[in-house]
Structure 1
Amino acid sequence: MKTRHHRFRLTPLAIALSTSLLATAQAAEPDAIADSRLAVEEVFIFANADDVRSLPGSAALVSEEQFQIEFANDINQLLKTVPGTYIREEDGYGLRPNIGIRGATSERSSKITLMEDGVMIAPAPYSNPAAYYFPTAMRMHSVEVLKGAPLLRYGPQTTGGVVNLVSTPIPETLSGSLDLRAGQNGEQDLLANVGGQYGQFGFLVETAQRRSDGFKEIDRGSDSGYDIEDYVVKLAWTGDRQSLLFKAQYSDEISDETYLGLTDIDFSANEDRRYGLSSIDQMNNYHAGFSLRYALELSDTLNLSVLAYQNNFSRDWFKLSGGNSFVNAANAGDATAQAILDGEADAFGLRYKHNNRDYESRGVEINLDQTIGDHSLSYGARIHEDEMDRFQPIDIYDQINGELINTGRVEPTGGDNRLEDAEALSAWITDSWQLTNALNLNFALRYEDVDSSRRQFSDPERETDPSRRSNNSSEWLPGASFTYQLNDQWQALAGVHRGFSPLGGGAQDFEEPETSVNWEAGVRYTGSWYLEAIAFYSDFDNKTENCSNANPCSNGATSGAFTTGQAVIQGLELQASTVLSFGDMNAPIDLAYTYTDAAISRDNEEEGFDDGDTLAAVPENTLSLRVGLETAMNWDSYAVIKYIDETCVTIGCNTDSNPFNRTENLLVTDLISRYAINDDAVVFVKFENVFDERSIVSRQPEGARPNKPRTASVGLQYQF
């Protein structure tokens, strides 16, 4: 049963830490800070926007400036401004995002490679990649998104793209920052850090604290919010031609989240309602991560880096199981099911599962970067292993007169009591060849060898022999791309690469991983405007869906993988940006648009799919527009407009008129106004979803779910 927990209201721990960080920086004498000789290497795919605009593949950078301007705390809202990304919201806060990129659909972000500072960050990237853990977005320095053939340097997911979250770098001199925000529904955010470099040594200490009462109203229940605490420590040393960087991170989350959504009639009446059946649902999780990176300059043309990492994640999402049966029945007109949801009818034998899982992942990666004439080469290999321990007891409740009464427990067996693991060997070589002043050729070859297994137990004590399954897959993944400088302003680019998505720990020996051939081609223009147009085409031999309770597959399965057959995902990405000047005022403009056609490309009689059936979770059109007005009076204002089309919940919603098989489109506008008190302090006011546009943004896991309502907040950003 859900236990009530202490709500973060600038807790003594947070206040003490932020105060001590501020005092540490202010107490330091300027001459105590030695001249920095450090070049501590943070993990960037690309260093700045100029690098993004010259890559032999499509990419995007969500910059530190965008984080600062928007006081970003929801990764979904940030990535909606990146072309080629597909976001399916779930809880309104981005706690467990569903991110897709091009050919990689969005089921719990399991089809893309997620990294923090170059380290794979999914709970178990090979055996269980579904992102039930996601780093706290507000403590990030920037976000890098890489698509096209160059992504073969990273993996294991190599179809759609890579998302690398770059954490706060160690500053060159002793300094820090303190960011505060307070808003409606009890929202409070705090970010505080301090760091610096002394001679050969550097450090950073940082905390992010978030809390909210939530915007949903639970029948006969309490809050629907969350508490999050996140801590990071970095220690660095740099000697002669070498450096060492250690990072430790710990976070803890308690969120009153559920899988249970609403019927369409109830959504129309009050989209922020939550049924009392979900009043005891709660997620508890913690994450601890450690990494050690060693870099050595072997010569002027040869650099070595070695990375060792360990991530541990544990979670227990206690929630109603099978609530979808009541929602579906009520949507079909069943009065009894509706009465049970309303708490007006008794229900017996309700199953509330402790979705309790422990994850571990660890590995060692080595990489050599070498320059030979006009060639910039990178060779590398990684040994990785991860595992998931699922032990999920079920508590039985009866609903009597609208109250939930515990009547027993079922100990876990079968699918609720299993171990899954994977071992993987990866190797890669890339070559950037500046063939002429105008032509740059890039070649990449990646190898993935994955062994996965599952042991499933029929008794809670795990004393009997388990049932077993296993899978091995090995793939060579080649890719090539180029850029050609047509003149000082125009550049052409194109590329092709083979994509791969491992099946996970539940795969059987006869199942094949998802593979694809992915093409892109486009042009870039750099002048008073930056313009980019890139077409993409992904051809799948065997498109798959990763099945879970959060993202049931098109066949209704909630575990394993579901192969939907041959498919094509193709589209066009457009970007435009400039800064217009009006006297002493500037108006930055950034536009991103994506058109996508995602469909089955060959009849699949076995599964009942036809050529032309639309794939699930891929919107046809997405658009974002960021516009600002920056003045000489230190008062700047910005609008961020984001649009996303309706999407299919299951494959083929384009061939039927069933409204329950699709979501709704959504247009949201955020407004931010900032005033700089001085060079170090900025105050701001922010209105999210200022016009209070509400839509059914998801029907998974169990019913209609809304986006976040209009929310006002105020805050302070202070640097010292």
Structure 2
Amino acid sequence: MSYHQRLGRRTSLAIAIFSALHVSASLAEEGAAVDMEEVTVTGSLLGQSSLEEIKSYAGNRSILTAEMLEKSASLSIDAALQQVPGIKVQDETGTGVLPNVAVRGLSASRSGYTQFLVDGVPLTLAPYGHTGQSLFPATLKSLDRIDIVRGGAAVQYGPNNVGGVINLVTKPIAEDWQTSLEEKVTFFSGGNHLTDTYLRTGGQVNESFALQLEGNIVKGESFRDHSDTDVQNWILKSRWDIDAEQSLGVTLQQYDAETDMPGALHTEAFEQDRTQSLRPNDEFSGDTTRATVQYNRQFDSLGAADGGEFNWTTFGHNSSRNFQWDFTTDPSADHWADTRAPATHLRSSPREFKVWGTEPRMALQFNGEDVNHKLTAGARLVKEDIDYQLGQVLLSTNTESIPRDWHLETSAVAIYLSDEIQLLDQRLTISPGIRYENVDMTFQDLIAGTETDNSLTEVLPGLTVGYQAGDNWFVYSNAQRSLRVPQIAVIRGVGEEGAELAWNYEAGLRYTLGDSVSLNTSLYRIDFKDQLLYNSFEQSFDNIGETRHQGIEIEGSLTPQSLTNLTLNVAYNYLDSEQREGVNTGNELPYASKHQIHWDASYAFDSVDATLSGFYYSSAFSDQSNAEEENAAGTTGELPSYMVWNLQISKTTELSGDGTLYTALSVNNLFDKEYYFRGIDVSPAGRYPAPSRSISAEVRYTF
């Protein structure tokens, strides 16, 4: 069967499912009783991503609210995520253009093991064939809050959820027309500076239509040489309230990014001057045009159901990105990225992505005398078209060649069903669910002139249990099967590439006492089968077999009754990672720090807020063999522990009319801690310096 025949079959299947749901809803509506009590139902597991929803969520989950994002002194999304237990970030650019986010010890490179969403829609370049975030079309200023779900979401949000789901929630359209102008300037030692300009205007145009335009421009240099950055992120949002039950939202986005990449340093160069760059030709560029349409219909009653919701989301984007980097085959080099040797080649990896997806979802609420049910059913069709090329220039002769030219077409259908069962006066909630994934991938090697098909089908069950043990106590547990399909960077055209599969388990206890005290403790375990790790020497991926990630996460906050202006937050993660197969059996996984601590203390007086925050990560190994000594190329060796402190002081002034003026002064890496990661992606050999101390001044005028 050809690719287009398979796509037609899957399109018909998705349309049939949608039609069945729509017809059922229409028939039920015609027979609905007019005197039923109105019930608001949502089929989204993430809901509104609010703090209130966390209290009864049957999994470990954190919300970084708008207030927390504002007070944290964070310069980027990845920096903000370091407040969350279980998350570790390798800062590659100092500007947030290319986040490398690791969750619970999973590989950080391009954040490839965590599903990022924007307002519930996949952010990644290709949800199936290219989950690595080598283009990250989001900026911190455009966000209202960040929802980090580490467990219990795999049935509804898949695939690629081994490390959980991170939902970036953008700023909503204001009820009344509102305009905000904001400028933030960050100064680094050595004279480099970075500007972060943000503007937003929008609100209700009339009773039924709302519109909002926002733009975020990041421009300048980070703390290192060869770090010029230019990012533009433009978003146009609209919402049409068709009537009291129906709404239609449309979001359009244009994102463009260009940045020089300073790269890693060999040990001697790092100790001499960590701000220098030895890779003058390394750079990144990317752009994307994205569109999302979301239709929502609420039903007061549907036949036997006491309420319901129908939601239909369609999304698509056209994206491109390119890395350029130095490559050496010089005999004196210990690695192709060894900066001690002269570059012999200039390589580039242009990639083009065309992605389209549609997802109808229906939720029905049934209330009984002893048992309540909320049935949620949905289906998603995704089509991906990826061009994957590797270009090379031999510098001695300026001869161009294309060693690799691949093309991947993917057609994927997912169907999921869950039943949220409430018992014991709604104190006990048991939610079994199942997700079915069917993926067809057609891989073409355009140089070799070959074509292979790779298909896989997986059934992914999940179960969550939550119990409201009292007014303040909530106990939960969950188990879920997670999937990551073969990536285009891994496929070699043999037609039998397998998926990466994992079982995730959690058990936890949550305590809340109003707004003054909260405590969450969670035990977790990930049993990973056929985990792939990048081998920078061979520029390929090694299947290291079974791995285990387990530990405990603790997160708490306190506002003392005797000092209500003070808020204290602390989070701790203990991570025990282990390779369970092969020659490195028993070793820890690379970059997996055993101990991770995050903290902040905020104090408000009059209209001034002061926040002191920080994080600590214990030492970690940087390769599978757990080598303690650093080798000549800088690809192995133990990474030392590090502790970083941040400080921010802000003031909000109410102006005449409805205007407000916000000003802030912040210091990141307050004590200028010098620490580093191992090289990343196109510069994997050597020490990659982490950001040095920076000072930021910010002003925002809203009217």
Q: Distance in 2 between matches of 1:614 and 1:143?
A: 30
Q: Distance in 1 between matches of 2:449 and 2:337?
A: 40
Q: Distance in 2 between matches of 1:153 and 1:261?
A: 39
Q: CA deviation at 1:475?
A: 0.9
* Counterpart in the other structure of 1:539: 527
Q: Specify whether residues 45 and 327 from structure 1 end up closer, same or farther in structure 2 by C-alpha distance, changes over 3 A only.
A: farther
State yes or no: 1:495 paired with 2:489. no
Q: CA deviation at 1:541?
A: 3.0
Q: Specify whether residues 311 and 107 from structure 1 end up closer, same or farther in structure 2 by C-alpha distance, changes over 3 A only.
A: same
2:199 alignment partner AA: A
Q: CA deviation at 1:580?
A: 2.6
Q: Distance in 2 between matches of 1:316 and 1:518?
A: 34
* Counterpart in the other structure of 1:409: 399
State yes or no: 1:211 paired with 2:219. yes
1:244 corresponds to which of 230, 248, 256 = 248
State yes or no: 1:614 paired with 2:615. no
Q: Distance in 1 between matches of 2:442 and 2:215?
A: 37
Helix, strand or coil: the match of 2:270?
A: helix
* Counterpart in the other structure of 1:148: 151
Q: CA deviation at 1:45?
A: 4.0
State yes or no: 1:598 paired with 2:577. yes
2:602 corresponds to which of 628, 634, 654 = 628
* Counterpart in the other structure of 1:186: 193
Q: Specify whether residues 500 and 324 from structure 1 end up closer, same or farther in structure 2 by C-alpha distance, changes over 3 A only.
A: farther
Listed one character per residue, the Cα deviations across residues 638-693 of structure 1 (whole Å, up to 9, x for unaligned) are 01101122332221316878683332322111100012232611111010111000
TM-score by length of 1: 0.83
User: Contact conserved, 1:263 with 1:327, CA < 8 A, in 2?
Assistant: no
* Counterpart in the other structure of 2:179: 176
Q: Distance in 2 between matches of 1:691 and 1:42?
A: 47
User: Contact conserved, 1:319 with 1:352, CA < 8 A, in 2?
Assistant: yes
Helix, strand or coil: the match of 2:544?
A: strand
Q: Specify whether residues 471 and 662 from structure 1 end up closer, same or farther in structure 2 by C-alpha distance, changes over 3 A only.
A: farther
Q: Specify whether residues 232 and 525 from structure 1 end up closer, same or farther in structure 2 by C-alpha distance, changes over 3 A only.
A: same
State yes or no: 1:287 paired with 2:288. yes
Q: Distance in 1 between matches of 2:668 and 2:97?
A: 17
**Consecutive unaligned residues in structure 1, runs of 5 or more:** 1-38, 218-222, 341-346, 399-406, 459-464
Listed one character per residue, the Cα deviations across residues 468-512 of structure 1 (whole Å, up to 9, x for unaligned) are 333222111111111112222222111111121111234343332
Q: Specify whether residues 487 and 298 from structure 1 end up closer, same or farther in structure 2 by C-alpha distance, changes over 3 A only.
A: closer
Q: Specify whether residues 487 and 582 from structure 1 end up closer, same or farther in structure 2 by C-alpha distance, changes over 3 A only.
A: closer
Q: CA deviation at 1:581?
A: 5.2
Listed one character per residue, the Cα deviations across residues 385-443 of structure 1 (whole Å, up to 9, x for unaligned) are 11221234323335xxxxxxxx4131314x2x111232111111122221123211122
Q: Specify whether residues 319 and 515 from structure 1 end up closer, same or farther in structure 2 by C-alpha distance, changes over 3 A only.
A: same
Q: Distance in 1 between matches of 2:94 and 2:105?
A: 25
Percent identity, aligned pairs only, is: 22
State yes or no: 1:686 paired with 2:666. yes
User: Contact conserved, 2:521 with 2:552, CA < 8 A, in 1?
Assistant: yes
User: Contact conserved, 2:264 with 2:678, CA < 8 A, in 1?
Assistant: no
User: Contact conserved, 2:91 with 2:690, CA < 8 A, in 1?
Assistant: yes
Q: Distance in 1 between matches of 2:297 and 2:472?
A: 37
2:496 alignment partner AA: F
* Counterpart in the other structure of 1:7: none
1:55 alignment partner AA: Y
**Consecutive unaligned residues in structure 2, runs of 5 or more:** 1-39, 302-306
Q: Where does 1:298-447 land on structure 2 (aligned, <5 Å)?
A: 298-300=299-301, 301-322=307-328, 328=334, 338=340, 340=341, 347=342, 350-373=344-367, 374-398=372-396, 407-413=397-403, 415=404, 417-437=405-425, 438-447=427-436
* Counterpart in the other structure of 1:558: 539
Q: Distance in 1 between matches of 2:608 and 2:561?
A: 16
Q: Where does 1:254-293 land on structure 2 (aligned, <5 Å)?
A: 254-258=258-262, 260-275=263-278, 278-293=279-294
1:578 corresponds to which of 541, 558, 569 = 558
* Counterpart in the other structure of 2:504: 518
Q: CA deviation at 1:326?
A: 6.7
Helix, strand or coil: the match of 2:53?
A: helix
Q: Specify whether residues 651 and 375 from structure 1 end up closer, same or farther in structure 2 by C-alpha distance, changes over 3 A only.
A: same
Q: Distance in 1 between matches of 2:663 and 2:598?
A: 25
Q: Distance in 2 between matches of 1:423 and 1:73?
A: 37
Q: Distance in 2 between matches of 1:354 and 1:329?
A: 18
Which stretch shifts more, 497-506 or 160-169? Answer: 497-506
Q: Distance in 2 between matches of 1:47 and 1:130?
A: 24
1:649 corresponds to which of 602, 622, 641 = 622
User: Contact conserved, 1:56 with 1:442, CA < 8 A, in 2?
Assistant: no
Q: Distance in 2 between matches of 1:430 and 1:99?
A: 29
Listed one character per residue, the Cα deviations across residues 339-376 of structure 1 (whole Å, up to 9, x for unaligned) are x4xxxxxx5x7211222111121111110011012112
2:287 alignment partner AA: Y
* Counterpart in the other structure of 2:613: 640
Helix, strand or coil: the match of 2:530?
A: strand
Q: Specify whether residues 467 and 325 from structure 1 end up closer, same or farther in structure 2 by C-alpha distance, changes over 3 A only.
A: farther
Q: Specify whether residues 290 and 423 from structure 1 end up closer, same or farther in structure 2 by C-alpha distance, changes over 3 A only.
A: same
Q: Specify whether residues 433 and 323 from structure 1 end up closer, same or farther in structure 2 by C-alpha distance, changes over 3 A only.
A: farther
User: Contact conserved, 1:215 with 1:225, CA < 8 A, in 2?
Assistant: no
Q: Distance in 1 between matches of 2:330 and 2:63?
A: 38
* Counterpart in the other structure of 1:61: 63
Number of equivalenced pairs: 630
TM-score by length of 2: 0.85
Helix, strand or coil: the match of 2:161?
A: coil
State yes or no: 1:671 paired with 2:650. no
Q: Distance in 1 between matches of 2:131 and 2:197?
A: 29
Listed one character per residue, the Cα deviations across residues 204-233 of structure 1 (whole Å, up to 9, x for unaligned) are 10000111223213xxxxx42201111000
Q: Distance in 2 between matches of 1:328 and 1:692?
A: 32
Q: Specify whether residues 313 and 329 from structure 1 end up closer, same or farther in structure 2 by C-alpha distance, changes over 3 A only.
A: closer
Q: Distance in 1 between matches of 2:94 and 2:334?
A: 23
Q: CA deviation at 1:201?
A: 0.4
Q: Distance in 2 between matches of 1:651 and 1:142?
A: 36
Q: CA deviation at 1:165?
A: 0.8
Helix, strand or coil: the match of 1:150?
A: coil
Helix, strand or coil: the match of 1:105?
A: coil
Q: CA deviation at 1:382?
A: 0.3
1:51 alignment partner AA: E
2:622 alignment partner AA: V
Q: Distance in 2 between matches of 1:118 and 1:249?
A: 15
Helix, strand or coil: the match of 1:155?
A: coil
Q: Specify whether residues 717 and 580 from structure 1 end up closer, same or farther in structure 2 by C-alpha distance, changes over 3 A only.
A: farther
Q: Distance in 1 between matches of 2:270 and 2:603?
A: 37
User: Contact conserved, 1:56 with 1:493, CA < 8 A, in 2?
Assistant: yes
* Counterpart in the other structure of 2:238: 235
Q: Distance in 1 between matches of 2:640 and 2:385?
A: 37
User: Contact conserved, 1:391 with 1:412, CA < 8 A, in 2?
Assistant: yes
State yes or no: 1:530 paired with 2:518. yes
Q: Distance in 2 between matches of 1:270 and 1:327?
A: 21
Q: Distance in 2 between matches of 1:641 and 1:674?
A: 17
Q: Specify whether residues 371 and 42 from structure 1 end up closer, same or farther in structure 2 by C-alpha distance, changes over 3 A only.
A: closer
User: Contact conserved, 1:263 with 1:331, CA < 8 A, in 2?
Assistant: no
* Counterpart in the other structure of 1:120: 122
User: Contact conserved, 1:323 with 1:702, CA < 8 A, in 2?
Assistant: no
User: Contact conserved, 2:589 with 2:621, CA < 8 A, in 1?
Assistant: yes
User: Contact conserved, 1:45 with 1:144, CA < 8 A, in 2?
Assistant: no
User: Contact conserved, 2:43 with 2:363, CA < 8 A, in 1?
Assistant: no
User: Contact conserved, 2:63 with 2:148, CA < 8 A, in 1?
Assistant: yes
Listed one character per residue, the Cα deviations across residues 223-251 of structure 1 (whole Å, up to 9, x for unaligned) are 42201111000111111221111100001
Helix, strand or coil: the match of 2:552?
A: strand
Q: Distance in 1 between matches of 2:481 and 2:357?
A: 24
Helix, strand or coil: the match of 1:653?
A: coil
